[in-house]
């Protein structure tokens, strides 16, 4: 028994950095993760990451905090998805007005999303184009092999801080985690209650529409529906039935115009929906036609965003527009949303298509009724 207790304690020490976020107010689910994951496998991965850090020759260059006037290159090496990138870097909103400049190095596929940012001075997608002499410190998103390799190859002599460090595995509220880590690493000194109240996915606020987009938009208030999805469990299949139920519930003063947004994976669903006939509703589709930045601007002009958990939903939550959002069983809303998202979530016991269209329509009508000023 003493040996078993000793082993359990040692495993606890080796698993905690990977499974426990060191900020008590940040929502995460270490217990759920450990119920389906071997402590030994988590400990081995942690030790492997520590070994990689040591072998990279970078261990002695880590600093825990960044000086206010330090010139920073932020390297994003997280998941190459829109939603993850938006949430993981949302804490930079706290850096507005910072004395030292902050630039971003990110994968080419995500560069366009952050171009024109009002926090990042420059956005790069090629490490070879970055001059190390322009920076005092690197900020890494997390300790993973691609990021450490890039740091060692292109910026070997610069000190670095790391936001998420060894944490990996358990589901968490990435937006809250980002705000907490930025507050810590940049020594901002904000209280947890303040951070909780501020936390929100962040992209630069933009509502002015390009003329080519604006000329096809409805002149009056409109809803945005997010079409398509990368994963089937997060792709809603009953938009026609929802709009039929909303059409029946329609009252003067409610938005009668519906704007469809989404990437190419929603094109077929949008094409089919555009053939539907309604008594009160008119539809226009931009599916597969806009950049994410343009889609963000359209959403910023909408009365309400309606869509399933996914990249476009997280982009929507960077705007002032409230939302009604759909979640599968595997995605707890409290780990994807914050109070400032102004979102009404509907979660099912299976995939998002289990949400009843009539219930969704009722939820949308209720959400609209709670914001009369936006309908005027």
Q: What's the pTM value of the predicted model, to 2 decimals?
A: 0.94
Q: Do 192 and 217 belong to one domain?
A: no
User: Are 147 and 228 members of one domain?
Assistant: no
Give tens-digit pLDDT for 213-266: 989 999 999 999 999 988 889 999 999 999 999 999 999 999 999 999 999 898
Sign of CA dihedral 326, 332, 336, 337: positive
Question: Measuring CA to CA, which residue among 47, 81, 62, 48 is closest to residue 151?
Answer: 62
CATH number for the domain spanning 337: value is 3.40.50.2000
Which pLDDT belongs to residue 376? 41
SS3 label, residue 325: strand
| 248/292 same-domain check | yes
Q: Does residue 375 register a pLDDT over 50? A: no
Dihedral sign of CA atoms 180, 184, 186, 191 in order? positive
Flag whether 295 is in a domain.
yes
CB atoms within 10 A of CB 124: 17
In this prediction, residue 9 carries a pLDDT of 67
Domain end (from 198, 228, 253): 198
Q: Compute the distance between CA of residue 301 and CA of residue 290 in angstroms, rounded to an integer.
A: 15
Give dist(CA 243, CA 357) in Å, integer.
8
- Residue with the larger pLDDT of the pair 225 and 77: 225
Q: Which residue has the higher pLDDT, 303 or 42?
A: 303
Q: Do 323 and 238 lie in a common domain?
A: yes
What's the whole-number mean pLDDT along residues 199-223? 93
One domain for residues 152 and 53:
yes
127 and 160 share a domain? Answer: yes
pLDDT at 193: 98
pLDDT value at position 11?
Answer: 66
Neighbouring CB atoms inside 10 A of 117's CB total: 18
Of 169, 198, 227, the position where a domain reaches its end is 198
Q: Is 203 within the bounds of a domain?
A: no
Nearest to 22 by CA among 64, 51, 66, 77: 64
Is 140 in the same domain as 242?
no
- In this structure, is the dihedral angle defined by the CA atoms of residues 53, 55, 60 and 66, taken in order, positive or negative? negative
Which of 198, 223, 241 delimits the end of a domain?
198
Judged against a pLDDT cut of 60, whether residue 1 lies above it is answered with no
For residue 374, the model assigns a pLDDT of 47
Q: Would residue 205 count as lying in a domain?
A: no
What mean pLDDT do residues 60-86 have? 94
Segment 82-92 shows an average pLDDT of 97
Over the chain, what is the mean pLDDT?
Answer: 93
What's the longest Cα–Cα distance across the chain? 74
345 belongs to a structural domain:
yes
Containing H/E element for 247?
A: helix 239-249
Range of the domain at 96: 2-198
Residue 146 is predicted with a pLDDT of 87
Give the per-residue pLDDT at 18.
93
- β-partners of residue 72 are 102, 137
pLDDT at 8 over 80: no
Indicate whether 74 and 122 sit together in one domain: yes
206 within some domain? no
pLDDT tens digits, one per residue of 302-359 = 999 999 999 999 999 999 999 999 999 999 999 999 999 999 999 999 999 999 999 9
Same domain, 234 and 339: yes
Question: Is residue 120 domain-shared with residue 227, that is, in the same domain?
Answer: no
Angle between helices 357-369 and 239-249 (to 10 degrees): 50
Q: Are 357 and 326 in contact (CB under 8 A)?
A: no
Q: At residue 20, does pLDDT exceed 70?
A: yes
Both 137 and 275 in one domain: the answer is no
Q: How many domains does the chain have?
A: 2
Q: Mean per-residue pLDDT for 103-123?
A: 96
CB-based contact 280:256 (threshold 8 Å): yes
Residue 279 included in any domain: yes
Distance CA 140, CA 74 (A): 6
360 and 240 Cβ atoms separated by less than 8 Å:
no
Tell me how far CA of residue 100 lies from CA of 67, 70, 121, 134, 137, in angstroms.
8, 5, 10, 11, 11
Query: Under a CB-based contact definition with an 8 Å cutoff, are residues 351 and 328 in contact?
Result: yes
**Distance from the Cα of residue 354 to its chain's centroid:** 24
Query: For residue 72, what is the domain's CATH number?
Result: 3.40.50
User: What are the two backbone dihedrals, phi and then psi, of residue 308, each rounded to the nearest 5 degrees?
Assistant: -85, 160
Sign, CA dihedral 150-293-81-200, equals: positive
Q: What percent of the chain clears pLDDT 70, i.e. is strictly above it? A: 95
Predicted confidence at residue 295, as pLDDT, reads: 96
Domain match, 268 and 343 both: yes
Average pLDDT of 117-123?
A: 97
Torsion of CA 68, 74, 77, 81, to 10 degrees: 100
Asked if the model's pLDDT at residue 112 lies above 70, the reply is: yes
């Amino acid at each position: 028994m003493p040996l078993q207790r000793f082993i359990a304690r040692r495993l606890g020490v080796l698993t905690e950095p990977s499974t426990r976020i060191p900020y008590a107010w940040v929502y995460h689910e270490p217990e759920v993760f450990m119920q389906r994951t071997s402590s030994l496998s988590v400990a081995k991965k942690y030790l492997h990451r520590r070994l990689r850090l040591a072998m990279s020759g970078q261990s002695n260059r880590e600093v825990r905090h960044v000086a206010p006037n330090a010139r920073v290159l932020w390297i994003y090496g997280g998941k190459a998805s829109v939603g993850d990138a938006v949430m993981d870097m949302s804490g930079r909103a706290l850096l507005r007005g910072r004395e030292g400049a902050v630039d971003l190095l990110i994968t080419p596929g995500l560069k366009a999303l952050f171009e024109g940012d009002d926090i990042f001075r420059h956005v790069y997608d090629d490490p070879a184009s970055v001059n190390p002499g322009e920076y005092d410190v690197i900020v890494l998103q997390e300790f993973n092999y691609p990021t450490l390799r890039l740091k060692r190859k292109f910026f070997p002599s610069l000190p670095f801080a790391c936001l998420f460090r060894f944490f990996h595995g358990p589901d968490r509220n990435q937006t809250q985690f980002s705000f907490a880590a930025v507050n810590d690493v940049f020594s901002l000194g904000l209280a947890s209650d303040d951070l909780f109240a501020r936390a929100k996915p962040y992209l630069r606020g933009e509502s002015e529409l390009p003329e080519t987009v604006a000329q096809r938009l409805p002149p009056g208030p409109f809803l945005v529906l997010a079409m398509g999805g990368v994963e089937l469990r997060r792709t809603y299949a009953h938009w026609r039935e929802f709009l039929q139920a909303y059409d029946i519930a329609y009252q003067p003063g409610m938005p009668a115009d519906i704007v469809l947004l989404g990437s190419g994976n929603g094109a077929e669903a949008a094409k089919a929906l555009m053939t539907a006939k309604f008594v009160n509703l008119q539809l226009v589709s931009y599916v597969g036609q806009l950049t994410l930045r343009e889609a963000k601007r359209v959403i910023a002009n909408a009365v309400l965003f309606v869509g399933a958990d996914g990249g476009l939903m997280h982009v929507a939550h960077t705007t002032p527009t409230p939302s009604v959002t759909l979640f599968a069983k595997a995605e707890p809303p409290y780990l994807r949303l914050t109070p400032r998202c102004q979102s009404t979530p509907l979660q099912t016991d299976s995939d998002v298509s289990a949400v009843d269209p009539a219930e969704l329509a009722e939820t949308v009508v209720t959400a609209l009724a709670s914001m009369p000023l936006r309908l005027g």
